[in-house]
Structure formats: structure tokens, C-alpha cells
Amino acid sequence: MIPPVHFLFFLSVFLFFILAGHFLVFDVLLSPDAFLRNLKSAVYSGDAEGVEQMLARASPHMRKQLETTRYFPFFLLTEMHGEQPLSHLTRVLWRALGEPNGDGGDLYHPLTAAYRHGQSDVADELIKCGLLGDVCGGGAAPFIFEVFSHRLRCADLEQLDPLVKLVVTRAEGRTCMRGHPHAVAYDKSDLKALFDRKHDASFVPSLRYIAGREEFRDTKLWSTPFQAPVPNHFPPREQLVMNPEAFEDFHEAYSYYFFGSPWSQKETFYFVNIVSLIGLVALAAWVSASFFP
């Protein structure tokens, strides 16, 4: 019969390798960062089938996150080079994401980026799908035929499709923009309406992409364990919060509560395995000293 101490030692070794394998395979190789890199590569290479499979495996939360990052597939289309099958890829994205307008913000707005990057073919494809509607994607949201003027140069307006309106903010002072025949005030634009709908009080942004990561110490607000997340804020560490969307994942939650700041999955991987290895070495030394003097 195996002595209890030896059994515990071998069990610790077994659990160490199981834990290391879990973090390595599921949290490092298949982490969100790896997913984004692979998605970007697939879009750039025009691999429509690969993009479709990746988006099908992604969670709804992940697909929603993409709208506010430079990895938004429709935005990546505007950075493509070469002779990729643009039409098929556009339809795949339209079908898989169902939201060709992004979040209504200006940073990664696909149609604006297409003109800014000199990709008139991409702009034409987006407009074509916007006109065809169900033919391209079925359940996609209505396409907004607007672009942000402050993200464009005057020369870019030469490529602007007659159907597209130019959204002008109050700070826009260029005559070529303000005097454009299709100019529309930002406050009256469909893009602003979309942005307001998506970023109202119920909107839960991806904390991974929000700068600051400030704590929100109003305990009255967090008195309900199921309190919805507050944009750009974490709950105070002494407050129990049960809403899983308050954090990106379990690792982020416990690293925040135990160490004071969220750790990346790679940092968590190294920490857990280093601590486990130290524990195994200490246990091995104790077993050797106790049973093999």
C-alpha cells in the first residue's frame, strides 16, 4: 500500500500537470489575444471559411466586443491588400456579425475607414450589401450610409458615393466638409442615434479595452450583489458582486480581489504554475527528509 504522504506527493504532481495543461491550452493558446490575432490573419488573407468558423465558435460577448476594437472584422476589411475574394468575405461577415455599422463610434467605423484607407472597393461592397439587405446577411442591422468627416481628408470626398452622407461635428472647420452637399449635423445623424442606443445605461462595454480600470467605491451603488457593471469602473474589493459580466473572466475576478488589479491570463498562468512548482519542491524536500534520511 502506498504511504499517504507519497500518495499526496504524486497527487500534487498530477494536479500540477493538469493545471498547467489547462492554463496553457485553454487560457494561453486559446486566449482572446490569440483569437484576435488569428482572426486578423484570416481576414487579411481573405480566408472567408476560416473567418466564418472562428466567428461561429466565438461567444456572443466576444463578437460584441469586436465592435469597439481595431479587430472588428468589417474594419479589418479596410486594411486588406491584394486580390482577396472581397465580395464573399463581406457577405460572410454580414451573415456572422449582423452589425455592419460597429457601435456607431468614429474610431473603427468601417465605411469611414474604407474611404480613409483608400479602399473604395470595400466601401462599394459595404454599400452594395447595405442596399441588398437580406441577400447579403439576413438578420443584419440596417446599414447606415454615413461617414465621419473628421476622420477623412478633403481628397477622400472625391471617392464618396452619392448615397453616403457626411456627418459633420461642431468642431469641423474645413470648408470642403461643412459645405459638402451631403453634409449632415452629427446631432441629427443616424450614427449618433446608434451610438446613443448602444451606450446607454444598460450598455456593458468590454473592460479589457477601457483605459484606467478605476475602482468605483460608492458602496450604495454596489449594495445589490447582482448590480450591473458600471462602465470604466470595477466594484470595491470589499463588496461582493455576483454579476459575471463585471469581469472578463474568472481569472480577472480573483486576481482583482486578491491582488488589487486584474491580471492577464498569461500573468495568471505564470503565477499559478510558479507557486505550484514551489509547493511541489517543498513537498518533495519534506518527503525526502522524512522518509529517506
DSSP string, the chain: ---HHHHHHHHHHHHHHHHHHHIIIIIIITSHHHHHHHHHHHHHTT-HHHHHHHHHHS-HHHHHHHTTSTT-HHHHHTT--SS--HHHHHHHHHHHH--TTTTS-STT-HHHHHHHTT-HHHHHHHHHHHHHGGGT-SSPPPPP-EEEGGGS-GGGGGG--TT-EEEE-TT---HHHHT-TTEEEGGGSHHHHHHHHHTSTT----GGG-SS-EE---TTTT-STTPPPPTTEE--TTS----GGGSSSHHHHHHHHHHSSPPPHHHHHHHHHHHHHHHHHHHHHHHHHHH--
- Res 190: pLDDT: 92
Q: Is residue 159 part of a domain?
A: yes
Cα–Cα distance, 36 to 182 (Å, whole number): 36
pLDDT band for position 74 (50/70/90)? Answer: confident
pTM (two decimals): 0.58
- Res 184: pLDDT: 93
Q: Is residue 117 part of a domain?
A: yes
What's the mean pLDDT in 58-73? 78
- Res 111: pLDDT: 93
Q: Is residue 269 part of a domain?
A: no
Is residue 8 pLDDT above 60, yes or no?
no
- Res 217: pLDDT: 47
pLDDT band for position 189 (50/70/90)? Answer: very high
Q: Is residue 20 part of a domain?
A: no
Most confidently modeled of 8-12, 13-17, 169-173, 252-256? 169-173
Q: Is residue 251 part of a domain?
A: no
First-to-last alpha carbon distance for the chain, in angstroms, is 21
Is residue 242 pLDDT above 60, yes or no?
no
**CB contact at 8 A, 234 and 218:** no
Q: Which residues of 191-200 are buried (b: 16+ CB within 10 A; e: fewer)?
A: bbebbeebee
Most confidently modeled of 168-177, 187-196, 238-247, 277-286? 187-196
Work out the angle at residue 204's Cα, subtended by the Cα atoms of residues 203 and 210, and round it to the nearest 5 degrees: 120
Is residue 206 pLDDT above 60, yes or no?
no
Residue 143: count other Cβ atoms within 10 Å of its Cβ: 23
Q: Is residue 109 part of a domain?
A: yes
DSSP codes of every residue in 43-105: HHTT-HHHHHHHHHHS-HHHHHHHTTSTT-HHHHHTT--SS--HHHHHHHHHHHH--TTTTS-
Q: Which residue has the higher pLDDT, 216 or 248?
A: 248
Cα–Cα distance, 38 to 41 (Å, whole number): 5
Number of structural domains (the chain) is: 1
**CB contact at 8 A, 65 and 206:** yes
**CB contact at 8 A, 58 and 93:** no
pLDDT band for position 283 (50/70/90)? Answer: confident
pLDDT per position as a tens digit, 26-56: 444 445 667 777 888 888 888 888 888 888 8
Q: Is residue 58 part of a domain?
A: yes
Q: Is residue 36 part of a domain?
A: no
What's the mean pLDDT in 175-190? 91
Domain that holds residue 152: 45-203
